[in-house]
Amino acid sequence: MPIRYKCRHCETEIGQLPFDHIDDQFLQKHELTQEDQHIYIKNGAEGDYTVQCICEECQESLQKFPNYYALKKWIQ
């Protein structure tokens, strides 16, 4: 099953990697704590995983408008 990388703001799929499973080595490469893993890595119904990250366009918007950081969902 693939690991998908998806923007947590606009939900655009950034890319995907073909992996059979997520193991400790994968998580160490991403330097995620267990708390972060629960927030940013979602298990799909078919055994796939989605890593919530940020795309370049949303990153640029956040740099231009830093008050967006206070909003949980700023793209409607």
Domain regions of the chain by residue span: 2-70
13, 6 in Cβ contact below 8 A? yes
- Using the predicted structure, report yes or no on whether residue 69 has a pLDDT greater than 80: no
* CA 72/CA 65 separation, integer angstroms: 14
Q: What pLDDT does 13 receive?
A: 94
Q: What is the pLDDT of residues 2-60, one digit of tens each?
A: 788 999 888 899 998 887 666 656 656 667 777 887 888 888 877 778 889 999 999 99
Q: What pLDDT is stored for residue 23 in this prediction?
A: 61
How far is residue 49's CA from residue 61's CA, in Å, rounded to a whole number? 26
| Residue 73, pLDDT above cutoff 80 | no
